[in-house]
Amino acid sequence: MNPQNAIHRGRFAPSPTGRMHLGNVYCALLSYLSVKSKGGEWVLRIEDLDPQRSKQEYARWIEDDLQWLGLDWDEGGSKSGQYAPYYQSQRSDYYASLFKTIEAQTYPCFCRRADLLAASAPHASDGRVLYAGTCKILSAEEIKERMKKQNPAIRLQMPHQMVAFTDGLYGDQCVDLQAFYGDFVLRRTDGTYAYQLAVVADDAAMHITEVVRGNDLLSSTPAQLYLYQLLGLQAPTFTHVPLLMSSKSGERLSKRDGSLSMEALRQRGANPEQIIGMLAHKVGLLPHEEPISAKDLIPLYNVNKLSKDNITVYSE
Ligand code: GLU
């Protein structure tokens, strides 16, 4: 997928909705190690698309924690770089320009959340509600009338098309776009662009050649690959990594696992090399748990050593 001579570029793309926890640090570490082990560049992109939940203060803490951990990024965040700005909240004109190029394959949707749930939409096997296509058949006249009263969301028409790709860790994946996603929202009623569009737009614009992220996003990748194809953009390679799970909730580590937030860890006197060594051991990069810096771990990184199973960590 990548031109042979391209510079390897990876990225960490956190949402600044709280202080980082161990799970975020772990994703950052693996993305850093993967690209640095190839001599590449690592970009920090702040995914602050959601104006209600994102806070500038948290973006500052993300940088502070990454610095403290010795995870040095080359560009992005508050650092300059040739693809600035690195804050998604400042990139909406760019999303709008890309959106225009595929607008013919979208349609306005006036359904409210309650309508969506009430409609007898087919449910995906994992409980997601697929859009039933209610607004797909509205006439131009009806659309005009409804526009007067309500701002619509904009949905992308998904074809019955198989998308296949090979994940760097989980191997071959294949999905029928319409059956798996239904027609999904590209632009919300408040005019903000959906994550799926923004992430594709930005990874392409920032010349990202490899995406390394949690396996919770494995199922988003075919939709993103379809967007790359529609927009005529070069797609990166994808490697999804196992998640850190909370011993307390049995679920993916989250902000609720307060004892594993960077704030709590730093207050308890943990040091960066202990944290990095512990994570490296848990994911299979080190045979024993021992302190090590992120930099010293670079030559030891090998995707084939990584565990595919999610990893439980002790959380209070
Ligand atoms: N901003 C997303 C998150 O924090 C990550 C997106 C990605 O890595 O593609 O979950």
Whose alpha carbon is nearest atom 7 of ligand 1?
A: 13
Mutate which of 199, 203, 220 for ligand 1 pocket (most atoms within 8 A of beta carbon):
199
Query: What is the distance in A from the centroid of ligand 1 to the CA of 139?
Result: 37
The per-residue pLDDT for range 122-173, each reduced to its tens digit, is 566 666 778 989 999 999 999 999 999 999 999 999 999 999 999 999 999 9
Partnered with residue 87 across adjacent β-strands are 46
The per-residue pLDDT for range 83-137, each reduced to its tens digit, is 999 999 999 999 999 999 999 999 999 998 877 777 655 566 666 778 989 999 9
The per-residue pLDDT for range 278-316, each reduced to its tens digit, is 999 999 999 999 999 999 999 999 999 999 999 999 998
Q: Taking CB atoms and a 6 Å cutoff, what residues make up the pocket around ligand 1?
A: 13-15, 47, 199, 213, 217
Apex 171 CA angle, 223 and 310, nearest 5: 90
Distance CA 253, CA 250 (A): 8
Query: What is the distance in A from the centroid of ligand 1 to the CA of 13?
Result: 5
Query: What is the distance in A from the centroid of ligand 1 to the CA of 14?
Result: 6
Q: Which atom number of ligand 1 is nearest to the Cα of residue 213? A: 8
Q: What is the CATH number of domain 102-195?
A: 3.90.800.10
Q: Which atom number of ligand 1 is nearest to the Cα of residue 12? A: 8
Query: pTM for this structure?
Result: 0.95
Do 3-94+199-306 and 102-195 share a fold? no
The per-residue pLDDT for range 169-194, each reduced to its tens digit, is 999 999 999 999 999 999 999 999 99
Integer-rounded Cα radius of gyration of the chain: 21
Domain 3-94+199-306, what fold?
Rossmann fold (3.40.50)
Task: State both tokens at 64.
Answer: 């502070």
Q: Are 167 and 175 in contact (CB under 8 A)?
A: no
Q: Pairing relation of β-strands 41-44 and 75-76?
A: parallel
Tally Cβ neighbours within 10 Å of residue 122. 11
pLDDT at 199 over 50: yes
Hey, is 124 helix, strand or coil? coil
Domain ranges of the chain: 3-94+199-306, 102-195
